[in-house]
């Protein structure tokens, strides 16, 4: 038996498994992409369950990140764009102040308004009055 060849196969198999596992983890925890904001809050993890949605059921969202400055955000706004038209806006009031370098997790529910087949772009903003956008994140899907 050629042990060098066998060891190489085992090593390559393990590397392939690690690569696939890392790729699956990234897809599981990073849905969407950033949009324009002051970057007062850096999103490090954004997850939507279920993703991609296949129905009009509510979506559980987790947005984790770190504050880059002292901040007192007071709302999370969810803009729903259906087939490239804004069709709904949800506002979730929040309370609390955060210090620079403090991490936080925001958990909330997105309830789609349009329940028709088509293209959806959901834009999430973390805002401090008077309209100072600390963070912005968006994700898309088709039903």
Q: Give pLDDT, residue 129.
A: 87
CATH code, 31-142: 2.60.40.770
Q: Give pLDDT, residue 30.
A: 78
Q: Give pLDDT, residue 16.
A: 41
**Which pLDDT tens digit goes with each residue over 113-141?**
888 899 999 999 999 988 889 999 999 99
CB 75 within 8 A of CB 93: yes
Would you kindly state where each structural domain of the chain is located, as residue ranges?
31-142
Locate 136 and state its tokens. Answer: 């912005």
Task: Please tell me the total number of residues recorded for the chain in this structure.
Answer: 143
List, as one string, the DSSP characters of the chain: --HHHHHHHHHHHHHHHHHHHHHHHHHHHB-SEE-S---SEEEEEEEEESSS-SSS--EEEEEEEEESS-B---EEEEEEEETTEEEEEEEEE----B-TT-EEEEEEEE--S--SSSEEEEEEEEEETTTEEEEEEEEEEE-
Q: Give pLDDT, residue 19.
A: 41
Q: What is the pTM of this model?
A: 0.76
Burial class (CB in 10 A: 0-12, 13-18, 19+), 40: buried
What span, in angstroms and rounded, lies between the C-alpha atoms of 28 and 12? 24
**Which pLDDT tens digit goes with each residue over 63-119?**
999 999 999 999 999 999 999 888 899 999 999 999 999 999 999 999 988 888 999
Q: Give pLDDT, residue 4.
A: 62
Q: Give pLDDT, residue 2.
A: 60
User: Given a cut of 50, is residue 39 above it in pLDDT?
Assistant: yes
């Amino acid at each position: 038996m050629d042990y060098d060849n066998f060891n190489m196969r085992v090593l390559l198999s393990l590397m392939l498994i690690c690569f696939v596992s890392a790729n699956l983890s990234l897809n599981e925890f990073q849905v969407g992409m950033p949009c324009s904001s002051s970057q007062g809050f850096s999103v490090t993890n954004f997850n939507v369950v279920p993703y991609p949605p296949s129905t009009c059921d509510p979506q559980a969202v987790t947005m984790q990140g770190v504050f880059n400055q002292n901040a007192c955000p007071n709302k999370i706004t969810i803009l729903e764009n259906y087939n490239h038209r804004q069709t709904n806006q949800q506002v979730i009031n929040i309370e609390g102040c955060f210090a620079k370098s403090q991490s936080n997790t925001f958990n909330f529910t997105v309830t789609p308004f349009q329940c028709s087949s088509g293209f959806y772009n959901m834009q999430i903003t973390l805002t401090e009055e008077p309209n100072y956008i600390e963070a912005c994140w968006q994700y898309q899907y088709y039903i």
